[in-house]
Structure 1
Amino acid sequence: MGDTAKRWIAEGRRRLRAGEVGSLPVVVVLTIVWITFQSLNDNFLSPRNLSNLSVDIVGTGLIAVGIVFVLLLGELDLSVGAISGLAAAVFAVLNVQNGVPEWLALVIAVLAGTAAGAVQGYSFARTRVPAFVVTLAGLLTWNGLMLYILGTSGTINLDENGLVAQLTGYYFTQDAVAYAIAAVAVGLVLLVSWLDRRRRVAAGMPHRSLQVIVARAGGLAVIAFVSAYVLNRFQGLPLALLIFLVVVAGLDIVLRRTHYGRQVYALGGGVEAARRASLGVTRVQTAVLAVSGTMAAVGGLFLASRITSVSQSSGSGVLLLNAIAAAVIGGTSLFGGRGSTWSAVLGMLVIQSIASGMAITDTPAAVQFMITGGVLFAAVVIDALSRRSQEAHGRA
């Protein structure tokens, strides 16, 4: 065994003892879920099912990305389901019933979500009432507004060939497109990692070795090209999945590499400490809830696109619970200050994989809820134990 591999193993053991488990638990759970359902039904890992799975995670996954921002503050947004339904209703009424161009109706719908989130964020920041209370009131308000906007029409069908319908209905059918996008993604990761390393070296800061950077890029390359190959065996690369991954990657950069992102993590570590450090607490909290509202609106439009309709039940049911569960299962801490947008991707993969496996094996929905609840409980326990371990090592 080489010296580099030994250092990796030693570092991994140190991080585990310190409670820094990262995404390891959710990757293990996802692997177990996939192996289990594949053993029960050979169609689970078929190109068709994996392609459908990659589209099904997008709508709720985008909402979960917004939840990640709120959880990083140590708070909870209960209004995202209602906002997603409101945004879909605004779009449908404007476009279908009033003839507003699709692109303009889409922009207005997203801005409606942003405004709803910003109102809640400002109220939360100024009154210092817990966010879950403010957003619970928002849940009722926005759901009522959605019902008022839809009126007695009940259900509005969208144009199946329209812009919004194509969000989840369009696929890049050329094999070369999927492989090219995979190659570009790997190249960008390599470039960003190398530039970050060079900056850290110049500043005398701790940095990753070139071997680690190449190894991580190699692992990403395997995942990217295998995914492209599998998706090409069915209908090609879904536009919805590409948009989802671009949004997740972009917001991850915002959180990890911008002043705003560092302020979000700082607030998650302690609001009073952030106030004494002269951080713009009100501004950041308002912005975080606005981001959550925006992502809820975008997610709601993708969900409407998937079924090409909007109804009085849009944004209801288990949508809110699944969005929160995805963020937590993916590794975002309920205690604030720890997590990333990629948590939403991993969490949604687990939840939707369970749902897909249950559907393929004709398992009752009740069992699906119980299994998902068990996974969520396990994630919360791991989060609590991890935080306790970090506190013991002086890292929390």
Structure 2
Amino acid sequence: MSTAAPAEVQAAAAGDSLGAVLRTRWEALKGGDVGSLPVIVGIIAITAYFTTKTPIFFTSVNFVNLIGQMAGVTVIAVGIVFVLLIGEIDLSVGYVSGLASVTVAEFQLAGSSHNYPGLVAIALAILLGAGIGAVQGSIIAFLGVPSFVVTLAGLLICQGMIIEVLGTTGVIGITDTQVNDVSNYILSKNTGWIVAIVFTALLAFASLGAYVSRRRAGLPTGNLIITVARVVFYGGLAFAVVAVCNHTRGVPLVGLVVLFVVVLFSYLAGRTTFGRHVYAVGGNAEAARRAGINVKLIRILCFVISGSMAGLGGIIFASRINGVDLTVGGGTILLDSISAAVIGGVSLFGGRGRVSGALFGGLIIGMISNGTDLVGSADWVKYITTGLILLAAVTLDTVARRRQAAAGR
């Protein structure tokens, strides 16, 4: 099975002293476990480069725009993370998101026989994505068909269904306020501060609660200073984001949606039995099966998550432009979503990575797209830059795995 583990588990096993934790982290770094360091360095470098090219890039107005630009890809990338963790791939997410976009637009269509409230249309679109994921996952798990082939077929089927639905009109406008608010609603400034306070309080409660419960059970707790520092850092980051957004209109609702998705699935992957089973299946499926894990069910559920997040991503894309057309789900959505997960540190070989990597990877993809548009670069610059970063991320992952194997990690 995989030796990968969430950061808090590794820290707990390292010992209680700060020195022991730092020594363990240094040894892991020498062994090839670089964690989020390359992503953080990349974000800083990209920010510095585009700031020198245009003063607009490092402004609160552009930061709010960036949140909206990266939201759809980031949400889809969260689902991709789970598929990659079990050593599979999902090539259908682009057009699954497109079909979900068409679904939410169709089910809110005024004057039709299926004009449902916006929230119902949103739920139906997400359920459609989950259903597609369940079908694809079942074929992969029970029949043993490679995920590459199954999801490639799913891509083509979903693309055909989009053409069939939109063939007569080509465009469906979205007029429902609830649907359009997903990407376009801005929280009031006071609400933004409340969100930051609640997030920090919940993070502190969860972190310190885990520390106390492990201490009472006689389990390794890790260093309390690091636990507090983590809460202070992420809480401070939340307040900083709200402060920047409040310099202009306020925090976009879609940013809150992304935060909720990342936190929810980070908890699912890092703090639940299901999450441990996902890592185990990705590390060694046969060993996981012999340990009593229902490998087929884990695979199906991971594809359900991927389909659901593709559905939610499609809703975000449709809401952003207030409609859908025949190009929905196409373009670079698929490649950007997979790239975001891989650039964020999720291994293509399975068993290693964190859900938060999708957020960092989505941020890098969004920053490149946003920055090249602001400086007026041609599209080929955007594609080549993204491709080079993706190649670097996969190369780093390959080299890191070899070093970790050599170090016996």
TM-score normalised by structure 2 residue count: 0.92
Q: How many residues align?
A: 391
The residue aligned with 1:33 is 46
d(CA) in 2 for partners of 1:76 and 1:344? 15
- The 3-state SS of whatever aligns with 1:237 is coil
Pairing of 1:112-151 with structure 2 (within 5 A): 112-151=128-167
Displacement of 1:206 after TM fit?
A: 2.4
In the other structure, the counterpart of 1:170 is 185
Residue 10 of structure 1: how far off its partner (Å): 3.1
Q: Distance in 2 between matches of 1:185 and 1:94?
A: 33
Which one of the candidate residues 63, 68, 73 is aligned to 1:50? 63
Letter paired with 2:95: A
Alignment of 1:270-309 (within 5 A): 270-309=284-323
Query: Do the aligned residues in 2 keep the contact of 1:90 with 1:149 (CA within 8 Å)?
Result: no
Summarize the alignment of residues 1-396 of structure 1 with structure 2, pairs less than 5 Å apart: 9-96=22-109, 97=112, 98-159=114-175, 162-174=177-189, 176-395=190-409
- Larger CA deviation: 16-25 vs 75-84: 16-25
Instruction: Give the residue type in structure 1 aligned to 2:320.
Output: R
Tell me, in whole angstroms, the C-alpha distance in 1 between the residues paired with 2:347 and 2:204: 28
Question: How far apart are the structure 2 equivalents of 1:122 and 1:272?
Answer: 18
**Secondary structure of residue in 2 paired with 1:156:** strand
Q: CA RMSD, aligned part only?
A: 1.5
CA distance in 2, matches of 1:378, 1:148: 39
Deviation per CA, 1:216-254, whole angstroms, max 9, x where unpaired?
Answer: 112113211111111001110111001110111011111
Unaligned runs of at least 5 residues, structure 1: none
| SS of structure 2 residue aligned to 1:248 | helix
Contact 1:93–1:150 (CA under 8 A) maintained in structure 2 = no
Q: Is residue 97–residue 314 contact of structure 2 (8 Å, CA) maintained in 1?
A: yes
- Give 1:163's aligned amino acid: Q
- Residue matched to 2:12: none
Question: How far off its partner does 1:142 sit?
Answer: 1.3
Assess if the C-alpha contact under 8 Å between 1:74 and 1:336 holds in 2: yes
Q: Which amino acid aligns with 1:12?
A: R
- Deviation sequence 1:260-287 (CA, Å, 0-9, x none): 1111111001111112122111111111
> Residue 328 of structure 2: SS of its match in structure 1?
coil
Deviation at 1:179, TM superposition (A): 2.0
Aligned-pair CA distance for 1:144: 0.9
Q: CA deviation at 1:94?
A: 2.2
Give the superposition deviation at 1:18: 1.8
CA distance in 2, matches of 1:392, 1:75: 25
Opposite residue 165 of structure 1, the aligned amino acid is: N
Residue 4 of structure 1: how far off its partner (Å): 7.0
Which ranges in structure 2 are unaligned for 5 or more consecutive residues? Answer: 1-15
- Alpha-carbon spacing, 1:203–1:5, altered in 2? closer, same or farther (3 Å): closer
Q: Deviations over 1:59-84 (max 9, x none)?
A: 11111100001000011000001110
Structure 1 residue 39 displacement after superposition: 1.1
1:120-141 Cα shifts (integer Å, max 9, x gaps): 0000001112211110111111
Shift of 1:55: 1.4
SS at match of 2:105: helix
Aligned to 2:3: none
